[in-house]
Amino acid sequence: MVKKLQKMSADKKSAPHLSGAVKESAQQIWLAGLGAFSKAQEEGGKVFETLVKEGLSIQRKTQAVAEEKISTATNKMASMATDISSKAGHQWDKLESIFEERVAKALNKLGVPSAKDVEALIARIDELNKNVQQMAAKPATAPRAAAKKAPVRKPAAKRAPARKST
């Protein structure tokens, strides 16, 4: 089209020929634009549908990756929480043990018997009770014979003087 215009201007023919060529060129440009618009409209729907499908596919892939990352992060956090809880429990046990030791030392200084001391006394009392029961169950011949040989002295009964009633 441009070549036609250049040829016409080179020939320097009349002005009406030039304006007709410009009109024809403008008409062709207009028709080319309409054709492009029509083609874009026809293919635009197809392109739009294709873009929607590709976008949906990318969204699904992105969601899967995101869920995987979230799952991994959740597992790491749960593991860390378990480790921290375990360490805290261990430290709490240490603290409790130290506290018990210090309280026991303070009570010992005050003369309060410990649980072990009380248990030892209970065991000793149980053993003594067993010994007493065994001795009570055996016939005691030797002590009775000694009791018969030794005279039993009874204290003399003192009488209180009678009171006069007035």
Evaluate whether residue 76 is within a structural domain.
yes
Range of the domain at 109: 2-136
DSSP per-residue letters across 58-99: HHHHHHHHHHHHHHHHHHHHHHHHHHHHHHHHHHHHHHHHHH
Evaluate whether residue 93 is within a structural domain.
yes
Evaluate whether residue 155 is within a structural domain.
no
**What number of residues does the chain have?**
166
Q: In the 8-state DSSP scheme, what is residue 111?
A: T
Q: Which long-range contacts (CB under 8 A, 24 or more apart) does 25-30 make?
A: 25/1, 28/1
Evaluate whether residue 82 is within a structural domain.
yes
pTM for this predicted structure: 0.35
Evaluate whether residue 117 is within a structural domain.
yes
Confidence check: pLDDT of 1 > 90: no
Evaluate whether residue 86 is within a structural domain.
yes
* pLDDT single digits (tens) 101-145: 999 889 888 888 888 889 999 999 999 999 999 999 887 555 555
Instruction: In whole angstroms, give the CA distance from residue 126 to residue 114.
Output: 18
Per-chain mean pLDDT for the chain: 80
Buried b / exposed e across 45-55, counting CB within 10 Å, b at 16+? eeeeeeeeeee
Evaluate whether residue 121 is within a structural domain.
yes
* pLDDT single digits (tens) 51-81: 889 999 999 999 999 999 999 999 999 999 9
Evaluate whether residue 61 is within a structural domain.
yes
pLDDT of residue 49: 84
Number of structural domains (the chain) is 1
Place of tokens 């403008």: 26
pLDDT of residue 143: 55
Angle between helices 15-109 and 2-11 (to 10 degrees): 150
Instruction: In whole angstroms, give the CA distance from residue 139 to residue 122.
Output: 28
Place of tokens 């248990």: 119
Which has more pLDDT, 89 or 130? 130
- Which percentage of the chain shows pLDDT scores above 70? 74
